[in-house]
Amino acid sequence: MKDQSEMKPYVIGLDLGGTNSVFGIVDARGDIKATTAIKTQGYDRVEDYVDACVDALQVIIDQVGGIDTIKAMGIGAPNGNFYTGTIEFAPNLSWAHNGVVPLAKMFSERLGNIPVGLTNDANAAAVGEMIYGVARGMKNFIVLTLGTGVGSGIVINGQLVYGCDGFAGELGHVIMRRENGRPCGCGRKGCLEAYCSATGVARTARELLATTQEPSLLREMDPEKITSLDVSIAAGKGDKLAKEIYEFTGHMLGEACADMAAFASPEAFIFFGGMTKAGDLIMEPIKKSYDEHVMKIFRGKAKFLVSGLDGASAAVLGASAIGWEL
Amino acid sequence: MKDQSEMKPYVIGLDLGGTNSVFGIVDARGDIKATTAIKTQGYDRVEDYVDACVDALQVIIDQVGGIDTIKAMGIGAPNGNFYTGTIEFAPNLSWAHNGVVPLAKMFSERLGNIPVGLTNDANAAAVGEMIYGVARGMKNFIVLTLGTGVGSGIVINGQLVYGCDGFAGELGHVIMRRENGRPCGCGRKGCLEAYCSATGVARTARELLATTQEPSLLREMDPEKITSLDVSIAAGKGDKLAKEIYEFTGHMLGEACADMAAFASPEAFIFFGGMTKAGDLIMEPIKKSYDEHVMKIFRGKAKFLVSGLDGASAAVLGASAIGWEL
């Protein structure tokens, strides 16, 4: 007898960000059938947040034929723990900053007891790539998300790596510089994230401006206000210093990937997030540095890919993909 | 109907080393019921090596009741590839140093077509710990073998990590020192193995003897002839410099484990090999350094254990364990 859930054509995805909570109802091909959003903040109690979510969701659930068409829901959220379905001490969420919130269970109870899975956004991105994106058919790959921070989702033997506690896959926090490393938001020094996140790129810009005489469009700005977007715009105009910033960033990412290969020998490294818009400016230094640094037996084996998920809806697609895995 | 193989009580393990090939017939509890060995070298052709193995094996197979009592065979071998069952370009094996040898298939054909699995010795040790040793019941752990080199076997979600090519788990070759790193046998610089293998320990001894004035029993020796065993003996006698060598080695292992936690968040790190005989002299610095270096969310979660496999037969047990997984 066929499992009834096989007949349900949709999953709900929730991209739970610090500012917005974006919902999508998605089919197995990754087509978003309906979408809606609410503000994440403005709720003191998680119950009120979930109430507002369900009110918004009900409209799009009705649009696709009611709750009986929904197989499951996936949530991508900061500090999300897949094992427990909870958000734990998320500093940027007013209703979850000082406790453990059982968000998956709460949504399930309000949505006819459908299965609800929750994980962090980088893990959601990895499952999204496996189900809808460039990792379809792959069993071993690593997604690196280059955003405000550097996150990662690791798939080994076709399964997401959660570790013993649900928090595995913090590759933004491997140590790349053990001497004079940059301070990182995690309280340690020399982490990959301190160099290769958007804030790391801006810091590299300030350092290069201060330590070189290279002319650059970036010199026209207040150094303290330079962002990774400014670097990207300058590089797009052919600015040599901006290109050097990407070379430095890509070089370090390639070094880091070489160590990751020694661990997992993945079929591909997949890059996700705003910085990938720089295209070859960032991808070529990554590949070059990887080839220089990786063990000989791994050389030439891994692919370096940019996310196959559509930028605007990538996070919702990733979150929804968790639903298919439940 | 019960699978017939469930009724077969034994597996064969082969620890294929550069000098000796040691066989054991092992039951599900890890008791070695019969054992034998031949020299690994002295054969130009792999066929002759396998002939000699099978001749020796036949005697102990008969002792336990014949080939019908054998479920499978596991082989731990240098450069062993689990996916293909081959040994690839193993520099220390006269019959496999310049080609790809389908050893698993050859043994299967000679042993009544029983399943034969082959992997490297560190992976075999990891499966051995999971089936007979201190990792029973664990789904996420990392075995680090501290021998002539530093090897690793990684288990995630209850499965060994082989990666896309069968060669994942080379944690002896993550880069620990990116500036002025020691040359490593792999051709790169700064690898964990260059510091924390037996040869790395001997080198640390020579460096400390040359750069400090610390009195030490090791000063009575020709520096070029100091081995890790000498360091161990001196440390056992309370030699302060020898203890410093272990502190340095343990410190770096703890740093490396902190990065591994960011990847896999394992339940335990398990140390295997001769260096673990130093006990707390090496284990305490590892734990202390790990706590200093690991991300806060992982602190206090992982156990640090010494292999639970009996030293003399550990490698054979590990190899045999592969047989239960086939």
- Nearest chain A Cα distance for residue B220, angstroms: 35
- Contacts B157 to A, Cβ<8 Å: 156-157, 159, 161
Nearest residue in chain A measured CA to CA from B255: A175
Strand (E) or helix (H) holding A272: strand A268-272
- Contacts A140 to B, Cβ<8 Å: 163-164, 168
Is B91 in CB contact (< 8 Å) with chain A?
A: no
Per-residue model confidence (pLDDT) at position B3: 53
pTM of the model: 0.93
| Dihedral of the alpha carbons of B264, B270, B272, B276, in degrees to the nearest 10 | 130
- Nearest chain A Cα distance for residue B114, angstroms: 25
Mean pLDDT by 10 residues, chain B (326 residues): 67 93 95 96 92 97 96 94 90 82 96 96 94 95 94 96 95 96 95 96 96 95 94 95 97 98 98 92 97 95 93 89 93
Q: What does the alpha-carbon distance between residue A129 and residue A141 come to, in Å, rounded to a whole number? A: 10
- Contacts A176 to B, Cβ<8 Å: 178
Per-residue model confidence (pLDDT) at position A99: 83
- Contacts B176 to A, Cβ<8 Å: 178
Per-residue model confidence (pLDDT) at position A311: 74
A265 to B163: CB separation less than 8 angstroms, yes or no: yes
Q: Which residues contact B292 (CB under 8 A, 6 or more apart)?
A: B254
Residue B324's closest CA among B9, B4, B1? B9
Which residue has tokens 């087509």? Answer: A31
- Contacts B263 to A, Cβ<8 Å: 154, 161, 168-171, 174, 260, 263-264
Per-residue model confidence (pLDDT) at position B78: 86
pLDDT band (50, 70, 90) for residue A1: very low
Q: What does the alpha-carbon distance between residue B197 and residue B183 come to, in Å, rounded to a whole number? A: 13
B314 secondary structure, DSSP code: H
Per-residue model confidence (pLDDT) at position B94: 83
Interface test with A, best of B89, B170, B189 (most A CBs within 10 A): B170
Average confidence (pLDDT) over A124-141: 95
**What are the structure tokens assigned to A172, written together?**
């933004």
Point out the residue among A139, A179, A262 whose CB comes nearest to the CB of B170.
A262
How many distinct helices (H) and strands (E) make up chain A? 9, 13
Residue A71's closest CA among A41, A110, A27? A27
Is B3 in CB contact (< 8 Å) with chain A?
A: no
Whether A286 contacts A253, CB under 8 Å = yes
B171 to A263: CB separation less than 8 angstroms, yes or no: yes
Look at strands A141-146 and A268-272 and give their pairing. Answer: parallel
Q: Which residues pair with B81 in a beta bridge?
A: B86
Point out the residue among B163, B186, B266 whose CB comes nearest to the CB of A264.
B163
Distances (CA, A) of B31 to B5, B23, B316: 19, 13, 11
Kindly provide the ipTM of the predicted complex, given to two decimals: 0.92
Q: Which residues contact A5 (CB under 8 A, 6 or more apart)?
A: A71, A72
Residue A276 backbone phi and psi in degrees, to 5: -70, -15
- Contacts A302 to B, Cβ<8 Å: 164
Q: Which residues contact A76 (CB under 8 A, 6 or more apart)?
A: A13, A14, A15, A16, A118, A119, A120, A121, A123, A124, A125, A315, A318, A319, A322
- Nearest chain A Cα distance for residue B260, angstroms: 8
Interface test with B, best of A152, A162, A165 (most B CBs within 10 A): A165
Residue A79's closest CA among A115, A38, A122, A50? A122
- Contacts A188 to B, Cβ<8 Å: 293, 295
Per-residue model confidence (pLDDT) at position A6: 59
What's the CA angle centered on A283, arms A277 and A289, to 5 degrees? 150
- Contacts A179 to B, Cβ<8 Å: 179
Distances (CA, A) of B180 to A179, A262, B20: 12, 21, 37
pLDDT digits (tens, 9 = 90+) for A144-174: 999 889 999 999 999 999 999 999 999 999 9
Is A178 in CB contact (< 8 Å) with chain B?
A: yes
Per-residue model confidence (pLDDT) at position B98: 77
Point out the residue among B157, B168, B265 whose CB comes nearest to the CB of A263.
B168
B182 secondary structure, DSSP code: P
Q: What does the alpha-carbon distance between residue A153 and residue A174 come to, in Å, rounded to a whole number? A: 14
Share of chain A above pLDDT 70, in %: 98
- Contacts A290 to B, Cβ<8 Å: none
pLDDT band (50, 70, 90) for residue A3: low
pLDDT digits (tens, 9 = 90+) for A8-49: 999 999 999 888 999 999 999 999 999 999 999 889 899 999
pLDDT digits (tens, 9 = 90+) for A95-124: 887 789 999 999 999 999 999 999 999 999
Q: What does the alpha-carbon distance between residue B90 and residue A120 come to, in Å, rounded to a whole number? A: 42
Residue B181 backbone phi and psi in degrees, to 5: -70, 150
Point out the residue among A163, A176, A258 whose CB comes nearest to the CB of B264.
A163
- The distance from CA B210 to its chain's CA centroid, rounded to whole angstroms, is 31
Whether B40 contacts B33, CB under 8 Å = no
Q: What does the alpha-carbon distance between residue A101 and residue A81 come to, in Å, rounded to a whole number? A: 10
Whether pLDDT at A325 is above 70: yes
